[in-house]
Chain A
Amino acid sequence: MTPLRRWFWVWLFGLPLLALAIWGIADNQRLFFATALNGLTLAALYFLVASGFTLVFGLLRNVNLAHGSLYLLGAYVGWVAGEYLGSWFLAVAAGFLFAALMGLLLQIGVFRFMHGQDLRQTMATIALSIIAADVALWIWGGEIYQFDPPRWIIGSTALPIVGKFPTYRLVLLAMAIVIGLALWWFLARTRVGMMIRAGVDDRAMLSASGIDVQMVFAITFAIGAGLAGFAGVVGGTALSIAPGEDTRYLLASLVVVIVGGMGSVAGAALGAVLVGVAEQFGLAYAPTYGIVFSFVIMALVLAFRPQGILGRRA
């Protein structure tokens, strides 16, 4: 795309949005900035869920539709751990470890045997997500669970313009940024991260250069699943955990990675910001059509850039 055309698109979508934003600020400054901040914190949560999804897809070409189930299972297990151990931080760790273990088991026990058969793998993940949702309902019932985070996190912080804002959401935002940076460091600077990136580009070459590809796959799957479980506890603290959350976050991950580009962690961050902010603005300004905004973004991206904003053609 030539720079001129790129600017054309930027202005085509940017100008109306800018006009709307100016109107929003002039109309109700507090509502506008509070919504923007809410959108960013939701984006943080979406990024945590979707980054694992996109990582797994990028390397394994496995569309893990059980990703939402890993989120929910991680949240439930984290809740149980939090109840027994009395520490929210241990709950987070438990959620991460349990989901990572589940991911490892899935990769070693199921997906390894269907390598290269995308559709069968995807359908197996659908079957597993049905089973996981029903088992979770069996064990934990239909009640809504709340986490019990440390006192200093759940208060509120005074911010300029917005006023009082829940501290936890700011912590969430910070956590997502830290995780994002850690993920970047892991992928860009460590040896395993290098293997993963090489695998994304060319799996056959990676295995030809003497690397145990199955091990790299297992590590990636464990990290991706672990991030979902981590997000389960962290997101469950911000909102709550209940049956049905699995599909909600699966949808969020799907839209985020379709918008951002499959297999790209930076794309997941960009997509999460777009979708999260759009959803919150939709909720604030057009309550019953909130979902339409995310959908319109997805449709626009598919219409003009099918591989996603930062995606590469397969």
Chain B
Amino acid sequence: MSAAHWRKAMNFTDAGRSWSGGRAAAPPRQATRTPPAGVAATSMGWLQSWRHIGTRHVAVLLAVLAYPWIVPPFFTYQIGGQSLVLGLIALSLTFLAGYGGMLSLAQMTVAGISGYIVAILGVSGTPEISLGWPWWLAVVLAIAGGSLAATLIGWLSVRTEGIYTIMITLAVGMAFFYLAQQNYAIFNGFQGFQKVVPPVVLGVDWRQPMPFYYLALFWALAGYLFVKYLIRTPFGIALQGVRDNARRMSALGYSPVAHRVAAYAVAGAIASIGGVLLVWYNGLITPGSVGTSWMINILIVAVLGGMRHPVGPFIGAVVFVLLQNFAIDLVDRERFNLVIGLVFLVIVLFSPDGLLGWWDALREWAKRRMAATRNSGMARTAVRASSLRTSSVSQVRPAGRR
């Protein structure tokens, strides 16, 4: 069934897209929105999508490509590399929560499982446990294992809905943390694995800041474009349909459970790639890297950026990493958690759409002023064209703003 069929069958209106069905008072902005034309994923889809590439896309791409040549290595690796890796893991959560309506806290666990597999099968500072297999085999198996784990977690958690998801995934993730901490035979207990470094391939040492940055950038871009593509495929649209109204979708003959589990699997693959990069970035993996605080940090990164668009997690990651590195100059080094907790609370209380939500509000305000002063039709067309690109309302704003 094509997307166009689906829209017709669902009697697709823009107001119906808000996550909570009839419960929400639709934000006033939505009323002026037209249904996204680009959503129709026909064979023309790819051609059409080129038209969406604007100046800002090219500018951002050039900026991220040129970035490591301008800044010192610390910024390339510690800020750039880490933001991209965290962003990639958080992207998997954005996909799950923003487009699938499932807020999973276990994405860091999936990434951690993948990282542990790299350390256990590949080379690490603990040769008694690590098997020392070639890096490519370890990486492929890690991504496969991570995706499998994600699928199982998804299969468990889709048996219930809504708020239960967050509890079940939190419990699964915490259980994995305690298992990794207590178990010495497989996970090497509290110490974890040290010296898990990227290999030297094609004569390039991928642990050096610049190669690692480009490696992370490649996968981040790949993940971003993949998610952008996937949400316009029939699967992606059906998934958003399941998010908005699972009963209607199942009445139409779709299986909500299958779509949700598949979404978990896809998100798991993204998180697994992020997990491999993360273990290479840190050079080690310990139970602490999959502990509660990191599971929640991924949520913070995703919420901070905003879950309505796949670029959100990367923005959130940059802000998070900058805070992590420079908040200690403003406050005590020990009090980072307090700062990030407060930032998260402020975002949750005042901007459920994260920084993207603020950005949109700002832009809308500017547009409205422009329209008011000039009162020409052109400004309004600009609003409409720009709103085509922002995708639908995320789950994080269930009942609208009150």
Name A's B-contacting residues (CB within 8 A): 61, 63, 65, 110, 113, 116-120, 122-124, 126-128, 130-131, 133-135, 137-138, 247, 250-251, 254-255, 257-258, 262, 287-292, 294-295, 298-299, 302-303, 306-307
A291 to B173, CA, bound (A): 12
- The interface residues of chain B lying within 8 Å CB-to-CB of A257 are 167
Partner of A126, one of B164, B175, B179, B296: B296
Q: Are B344 and A130 in contact (CB under 8 A)?
A: yes
Q: Are B156 and A299 in contact (CB under 8 A)?
A: yes
A47 to B295, CA, bound (A): 26
Q: Are B182 and A124 in contact (CB under 8 A)?
A: no
Q: Can you report 28 A-B residue pairs in the complex whose CB atoms are below 8 A from each other?
A: A116-B23, A118-B162, A119-B395, A119-B396, A120-B397, A127-B341, A127-B345, A127-B348, A128-B341, A128-B345, A130-B293, A130-B296, A130-B337, A131-B345, A134-B337, A247-B174, A247-B291, A251-B171, A254-B167, A254-B170, A287-B182, A288-B182, A289-B179, A291-B175, A298-B171, A302-B159, A303-B156, A306-B160
Q: Are A131 and B338 in contact (CB under 8 A)?
A: yes
* Nearest CB of chain A from residue B19's CB, rounded to whole Å: 9
A2 to B24, CA, bound (A): 40
Partner of A255, one of B171, B183, B185: B171
Known contacts A120-B348, A126-B344; 6 further A-B pairs (Cβ under 8 A): A63-B163, A123-B299, A131-B338, A251-B178, A302-B160, A306-B160
* Nearest CB of chain B from residue A226's CB, rounded to whole Å: 22
Q: Are B344 and A116 in contact (CB under 8 A)?
A: no
Sorted from nearest, which 9 A-B pairs have the closest CB atoms? A130-B341, A127-B345, A306-B159, A131-B341, A134-B337, A127-B344, A134-B338, A291-B178, A251-B174
- The interface residues of chain B lying within 8 Å CB-to-CB of A127 are 341-342, 344-345, 348
A214 to B175, CA, bound (A): 36
Interface SS of chain B = helix
- Write the B310-350 contact mask toward A (1 if CB under 8 angstroms, else 0): 00000000000000000000000011011011101100110
The chain A residue with its CB closest to the CB of B297 is A130
Partner of B185, one of A251, A262, A288: A288
Q: Is B292 an interface residue (CB 8 A)?
A: yes
* Nearest CB of chain B from residue A190's CB, rounded to whole Å: 28
Q: Are A123 and B170 in contact (CB under 8 A)?
A: no
- The interface residues of chain A lying within 8 Å CB-to-CB of B184 are 288
Q: Are B171 and A123 in contact (CB under 8 A)?
A: no
Number of B interface residues, CB 8 Å? 47
Q: Are A307 and B166 in contact (CB under 8 A)?
A: no
Interface SS of chain A = helix
Q: Are A247 and B160 in contact (CB under 8 A)?
A: no
Q: Are B399 and A116 in contact (CB under 8 A)?
A: yes
Q: Is B168 an interface residue (CB 8 A)?
A: yes
The chain B residue with its CB closest to the CB of A130 is B341
A294 to B167, CA, bound (A): 15
Name B's A-contacting residues (CB within 8 A): 23, 103, 156-157, 159-160, 162-164, 166-168, 170-172, 174-175, 178-179, 182-185, 291-293, 296, 299, 303, 334-335, 337-338, 340-342, 344-345, 348-349, 352, 395-399, 402
Q: Are A120 and B396 in contact (CB under 8 A)?
A: yes
Partner of A138, one of B175, B183, B335, B399: B335
* Nearest CB of chain A from residue B345's CB, rounded to whole Å: 4
Given known contacts A138-B334, A303-B159, A123 and B342 CB-to-CB distance under 8 angstroms: no
The chain B residue with its CB closest to the CB of A304 is B159
* Nearest CB of chain B from residue A289's CB, rounded to whole Å: 7
Scoring A126, A137, A250, A288 by chain B CB atoms within 10 A of each residue's CB, the highest score goes to A126
Q: Are A123 and B334 in contact (CB under 8 A)?
A: no
Given known contacts A258-B168, A291-B182, A251 and B338 CB-to-CB distance under 8 angstroms: no
Q: Are B349 and A124 in contact (CB under 8 A)?
A: yes
Q: Are A302 and B168 in contact (CB under 8 A)?
A: yes
A215 to B300, CA, bound (A): 32
The chain A residue with its CB closest to the CB of B296 is A126
Q: Are B337 and A117 in contact (CB under 8 A)?
A: no
- The interface residues of chain A lying within 8 Å CB-to-CB of B334 are 137-138
A289 to B187, CA, bound (A): 11
- The interface residues of chain A lying within 8 Å CB-to-CB of B340 are 130
A245 to B402, CA, bound (A): 36
- The interface residues of chain B lying within 8 Å CB-to-CB of A130 are 293, 296, 337-338, 340-341, 344
A126 to B167, CA, bound (A): 12
The chain B residue with its CB closest to the CB of A287 is B182
Q: Are B299 and A126 in contact (CB under 8 A)?
A: yes
Given known contacts A119-B163, A119-B398, A120-B398, A133 and B179 CB-to-CB distance under 8 angstroms: no
* Nearest CB of chain A from residue B370's CB, rounded to whole Å: 32
Given known contacts A116-B23, A122-B166, A127-B348, A295 and B172 CB-to-CB distance under 8 angstroms: yes
* Nearest CB of chain B from residue A271's CB, rounded to whole Å: 12
The chain A residue with its CB closest to the CB of B162 is A118
Partner of B171, one of A110, A254, A287: A254
The chain B residue with its CB closest to the CB of A306 is B159
Partner of A294, one of B159, B175, B341, B398: B175
* Nearest CB of chain B from residue A185's CB, rounded to whole Å: 29
The chain A residue with its CB closest to the CB of B163 is A118
Partner of A258, one of B171, B341, B348, B398: B171
- The interface residues of chain A lying within 8 Å CB-to-CB of B174 are 247, 250-251, 254
Q: Are A247 and B292 in contact (CB under 8 A)?
A: yes
- The interface residues of chain B lying within 8 Å CB-to-CB of A290 are 182
